[in-house]
Structure 1
């Protein structure tokens, strides 16, 4: 295909992934972004020294921007109680975090979102919101169907959280529209069978996602960059299709509400391995849950943690559809671990690449790739890092001091 040249690049050239680039109003030192991966080190739902160090490492290791995940916009929007949520009390810690990352020459993005049905109501001690309500296997409790008033509040909360990000001197916010968190759940025909203004046709199902993106843009203007993480497909029968997702992406582009899209896939609620690929660490996951859920995971876990083979750039084929249809800068995620993959992404018109698991094992991987293009990642895609989110996200194959 013909490469789409990102803004600021001369026509007919393929950008170098290691050269500076612009993301909206922000100048980044290269085109490598650390993707959002929940850190599991905020026991009081506030920034800790461990969280700062978690992001300082890849920043010092050469990424252009690190993404803090995940910053809930409301207390019931956390996936569990020990998770950062955006409120005035969080501001001093966030400022310490952004300052520490800026000292390395990197930028900071805060991922904003509402977990919706992925939230653990038992842990949060607050009802989880979902499009329809009903029993939730995450918390073994019933979700509450979100009212229009709830959704208006969530939209406003995104704008308020984005303003806090500006006040914290963050460089960007990433809006979480994926993985069947609240906005993504509303996009899903399987999870959203409402008959009001937030359900039914795609324009109605997209009302929440588009509304919160517009609210954030209206709040912060071009003071910081705004990106969105959007599911290309949920990876479940009856879920969001690629064609519908592409239409949502077109609407986001037409609105001018985001500066770039990170293309993702899968459902944290129904099929998480569709995003991660590689081995499914069922035994390790089950060990993290209390007895009823542990037994359920061991018995039925293979239907939830399905195994998908890993291959480099495993989301590229789907992402090409978006690249061909959009002029908006796109961030390629999934299996980006070496210089060859990065160069291929640039050649196919993607503006940035995002890395996640590989940086857990080697936070300095981008710097070493810059020094030696033949550098290979040590990540073996075993996914045993995934269950560590409950005790501090890390690569369990190494000891990081």
Structure 2
């Protein structure tokens, strides 16, 4: 298995990701932009990604592109359908003009979806109450799951038509596939519940369907939880096995370990301050009032450290040979170089690039360039009005 190497891989040099060559190994990871309207691309969304492309990243990731109407966390989110292709082509062409590649994050929100906004009932492994939506998600039927697997494949084919270089399958944060992996959320007793093999069935079926649909035409990556951040949830021991299965299936070109649950513990991934007051102010009543009252319990505080997922991600790195993307606290050239030495092929950044979209270009010019992100996480509530760093506002 890959081991730390004394030979330094240059994170700023071109690298292959499946059939695609990136100009460097730095990926702008998916952060819901809050800039789509009626499930379609806007000029503001295009400008968001061209700004990061011009800033020097090897690839930028468009989030979150839902494969089914009920699979959105918000009705505004991009929905894969023919009407969206014109805008998506304009986006990919604009990013390519800046010299970067572009990936589309594809997935189904499952129990994290907002049925009030979508005007469609959410689906989950088992019937479950969503306190943010004040609604129950119904248990997904086998027909639902077959439809959703096909929808992932259809979305990937549309991504090819739209000019994307890659798709990122969302297997994290207790969205649908991740919620099936979780023994805490998945209470089924059929072929999609119980044993790890059964709970991983949906994730593997989705990844295999995407591979069959677009094999060789674009890169396929996946964001996989390695820790839900809640007792009784999906954790590293099972994640190692699932990563091995995905590798053996041959469905992925790279894997990005991630953590946290948008349903049960959203701050577990976003280390740093928990902006309870800002979240409460951004939400309509009565949700905002509820967040103000109990938000300190739902939005827990986890201290920030650089490369904060590295210890757990090392376990995945030791278990598989496929390329891995290190996510979480990647802010400086020093941290990027450490990731390369430890056998990771790519790194992913989000909040640091919201603060400084040209941070990669700055690092190219001066490797000692520090990130100005202070991990206050006040960017998170801006998803409702256009994702941005509040400190970077004029």
Give me the TM-score of the superposition, normalised by structure 1.
Answer: 0.97
Distance 1:80 1:2 in 2: 40
**What secondary structure is seen at the aligned counterpart in 1 of 2:330?**
coil
- 1:128-143 matched pairs, under 5 angstroms: 128-143=122-137
- CA apart distance, 1:2: 6.6
- CA apart distance, 1:294: 1.9
Give me the TM-score of the superposition, normalised by structure 2.
Answer: 0.98
Residue aligning to 2:18 = 24
Residue aligning to 2:42 = 48
Cα RMSD of the aligned pairs, angstroms, is 1.2
- 1:108-123 matched pairs, under 5 angstroms: 108-123=102-117
2:141 is equivalent to residue 147 of structure 1: yes
**Contiguous gaps of at least 5 residues in structure 2:** none
Residues matched between the structures, number: 394
2:339 is equivalent to residue 373 of structure 1: no
**What secondary structure is seen at the aligned counterpart in 2 of 1:276?**
coil
Q: Is the 8 A contact 1:362 1:378 kept in 2?
A: yes
Residue aligning to 2:3 = 3
Residue aligning to 1:156 = 150
Q: Is the 8 A contact 1:133 1:145 kept in 2?
A: yes
- CA apart distance, 1:291: 2.2
Which of these residues, 303, 308, 313, is aligned with residue 297 of structure 2? 303
Distance 2:324 2:4 in 1: 10
**What secondary structure is seen at the aligned counterpart in 1 of 2:392?**
coil
Residue aligning to 1:96 = 90
**What secondary structure is seen at the aligned counterpart in 2 of 1:94?**
helix
Distance 1:298 1:269 in 2: 18
Q: Is the 8 A contact 2:221 2:253 kept in 1?
A: yes
**What secondary structure is seen at the aligned counterpart in 2 of 1:327?**
coil
Which of these residues, 67, 77, 88, is aligned with residue 83 of structure 1? 77
**Contiguous gaps of at least 5 residues in structure 1:** 6-11
Distance 1:136 1:334 in 2: 27
Distance 2:235 2:354 in 1: 31
Q: Is the 8 A contact 1:119 1:138 kept in 2?
A: no
- CA apart distance, 1:144: 1.1
1:206-248: CA deviation from partner (whole Å, max 9, x where unpaired) = 1110000000000001110000000011000110010101111
- CA apart distance, 1:3: 3.3
Distance 2:4 2:132 in 1: 41
Residue aligning to 1:190 = 184
